[in-house]
Amino acid sequence: MRLVLFDIDGTLVPGASSEARFARYLWDEGALGVRQLLAFAWFCLRYFPRYGRHVMQKNKAYLSGHTKAEIAALARDFVATRLSPALYPPALERLRAHQAAGDRIALLSGTPQFIADALAESLGVGHSHAALCATDGRHYTAAPPVRHPYGPTKIDAAEALARETGLSLETAVAFGDSITDAHLFRVVEEAVAVQPDKHLSEVADGAGWEVLLDRMTAPAKHDQQDLRR
């Protein structure tokens, strides 16, 4: 049995991020009002000096005022109706193969924890480690996230999952799509780059990491970038 770590955005979910899709879902459901939009805009202004170009990744202020229970329920419906049908088939097939082999699957992502939890439940995955949005105990606030696994900090998250499952990172498998996932790839036994961006594709070639593509349905990310030039 091995620990198998799956990134969500760009890996299991192609195209727009799961959080961006969820924000659109909230808008469609009438769950984003003036309060949330103003809080989102103010966060960008207030925290840009701290986070720079990463400020949008840290901005969870669109949740402010909603209860944790309300958002969790909305996330479950969102996953069932919008996210699950959009999962990337080759990555999902690999996840199912690892489940059939008896491996322990964990979702490891910078998306909010409530989305990761809902997706994990939908997939029959027992572990997830994602971004913890700030709350006052019952309601979400406009403060920066308490935890945000991204880049090198994914190693800390992976180590926490290894302790939680009692399995070693030295024999683990990691699936990811971005050059920022290369930090995690270097501490596991097996790495799989799923439709990698241009930089990860180049690093994967040099490191001998597997590259998972489905050219019959979509070009690789770096090919898409080339087409737009």
What CATH number does the domain containing 11 carry? 3.40.50.1000
Which of 125, 121, 141, 122 minimizes the C-alpha distance to 133? Answer: 141
Give the DSSP letter of residue 195.
Answer: S
Contacts of 213 (CB under 8 A, 6+ apart): 90, 195, 220
Any idea how long the chain is? Answer: 229
132: domain range?
Answer: 3-228
Confidence (pLDDT) at 221 = 47
Taking each helix axis from N to C end, the angle separating 198-207 and 221-228, rounded to the nearest 10 degrees, works out to: 140
Q: How many domains, in total, are found in the chain?
A: 1
What integer pLDDT is reported at residue 38 of this predicted model? 96
H or E stretch at 211: strand 210-212
Inter-axis angle of helices 18-28 and 68-78, to 10 degrees?
Answer: 100
Q: pLDDT truncated to tens, each residue of the chain (229 aa)? A: 999 999 999 999 999 999 999 999 999 999 999 999 999 999 999 999 999 999 999 999 999 999 999 999 999 999 999 999 999 999 999 999 999 999 999 999 999 999 999 999 999 999 999 999 999 999 999 999 999 998 899 999 999 999 999 999 999 999 999 999 999 999 999 999 999 999 999 999 999 999 998 754 444 444 443 333 3
